[in-house]
């Protein structure tokens, strides 16, 4: 049974989110090459920098934490301790529109510094995608698309949820490539909490 997108029942809303995410994952799976390219960039990076605005940025912070657990050197753009990016580094970005000014500027700066860029976006022909070495296109509504055609969820909800899933999938693939056990990763968790 397809959930009613206008229902006020939380269970219907949960099923709607599930169904939309499932459809997005199926569409992403049809282009496994893009995911593989992004994974390869991250695996080969000297350091990984993540950058997104709003909820997309929060989703990428989750990815940054997991990549750190893997043993990669990871920085969140905008943190006070984030160093300059340079050759051998990768900037992992997320912008539904691919036009978010600060993210596009950061990608331009990364390219000028000799770093590579991986982009997660809904817009394959956006300025961000044009700068990127690897582009993962998420079939979701952009933040300002309120038509309900691509997603019944509010604003960029489906895109941001997909960013979380993609981050976890990239982490999982890289973890399995690394040959490390869960016990190997565990000591990298914060002991200050």
Q: Write out the catalytic residue numbers.
A: 160
Beta carbons within 8 Å of 147's beta carbon, 6+ residues apart:
141
Instruction: Please choose, from the candidates 146, 161, 135, the residue with its C-alpha nearest in 3D space to the C-alpha of residue 19.
Output: 161
Contact call for residues 2 and 19 (beta carbons, < 8 A): yes
Beta strands in 122-167 (DSSP E): 134-137
Instruction: Please choose, from the candidates 125, 189, 157, the residue with its C-alpha nearest in 3D space to the C-alpha of residue 58.
Output: 157
**Do the bridges between strand 48-52 and strand 74-76 make them parallel or antiparallel, or are there none, so unpaired?**
parallel
- At 151 the three-state DSSP class reads coil
Residue with tokens 């997309």, as numbered in its chain: 56
Give the separation between CA 140 and CA 121, rounded to whole angstroms.
9
């Amino acid at each position: 049974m397809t959930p009613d997108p206008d229902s006020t029942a939380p269970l219907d809303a949960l099923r709607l989110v599930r169904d939309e995410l499932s459809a997005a994952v199926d569409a992403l799976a049809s282009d496994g090459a893009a995911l593989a390219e992004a994974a390869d960039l991250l695996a080969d990076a000297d350091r990984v920098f993540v950058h997104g605005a709003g909820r997309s940025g929060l989703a990428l912070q989750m990815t940054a934490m997991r990549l750190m657990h893997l043993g990669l050197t990871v920085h969140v753009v905008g943190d006070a301790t984030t160093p300059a990016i340079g050759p051998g580094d990768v900037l992992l970005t997320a912008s539904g529109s691919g036009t978010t000014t600060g993210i596009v500027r950061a990608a331009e700066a990364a390219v000028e510094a000799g770093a590579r860029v991986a982009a997660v976006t809904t817009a394959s022909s956006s300025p961000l995608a044009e700068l990127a070495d690897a582009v993962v296109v998420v079939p979701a509504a952009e933040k300002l698309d309120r038509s309900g055609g691509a997603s019944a969820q509010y604003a960029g909800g489906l895109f941001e949820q997909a960013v979380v899933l993609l981050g976890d999938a990239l982490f999982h693939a890289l973890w399995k490539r690394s040959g490390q056990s869960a016990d190997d990763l565990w000591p990298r968790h914060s002991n200050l909490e």
